[in-house]
Amino acid sequence: MKPEAPRRWSGGDLVVATGNPGKAVEIADLLAPFEVDVRRLGEFTDVLPDETGTTFAANAIIKAAAAAAAAGLPALADDSGLAVAALDGAPGIHSARWAEEAGGFSEAMALLDQRLRGNPDRRAAFHCALALAWPDGVTRTVEGIVEGRLVFPPRGGFGFGYDPIFVPAGDDRTFGEMDPAEKSGRSHRADAFRKLVAACFRT
């Protein structure tokens, strides 16, 4: 893997390196204003690399680099998760694994409710790292965050993952209660994407 470099996006095909349909749609929507022909990872490979990194950024780079190598095209990967203050930042980079081991996100949210019962500290934050990788090994990463608090029971039918229990700072609605277009503009992924646009997509 080559060190990060200030390479600019020059248009064309870009692989969105995720197996999560919700993330894929959200990322494609964010890319819509730019000269990007979004390609699905499944067009090139069904094999996702093991996420062995210890940070969101490290895992995003692993996924983006593997997708770029498989497709022979630039690839954009996201690694994101929910960090709960009262749980020392858990589930963090293991947010998806928590859901998988619990039997789904509904069960993972119920587990969080159980673990936080009796604890008045409901502070939490969504984190997102985006990695843009080219087939020659050049990568660029950015990170975004949105602070907020958790509420139970889950509310709203929009979004995905832990969205129905997360209320962003300055609002009283969960991400699950927000129209997807509004959430896309306020999310941790949107924060990271604004930074990526400034670094790689705008002249």
User: So which residues are the catalytic ones?
Assistant: 79
Alpha helices (runs of H) in 5-146, residue ranges in sequence order: 21-31, 56-71, 95-102, 105-116
* Nearest in space to 57 (alpha carbons), one of 119, 127, 129: 129
Burial of 95 (0-12, 13-18, 19+ CB in 10 A): buried
Distance between CA 182 and CA 119 in Å, rounded? 30
Distance between CA 26 and CA 41 in Å, rounded? 15
Cis peptide, bond prior to residue 33, ω within 30 of zero: no
Looking only at the bridges linking them, the beta strands covering 123-133 and 139-150 are antiparallel
Distance between CA 56 and CA 83 in Å, rounded? 11
Tokens for 160, please give them.
């995905």
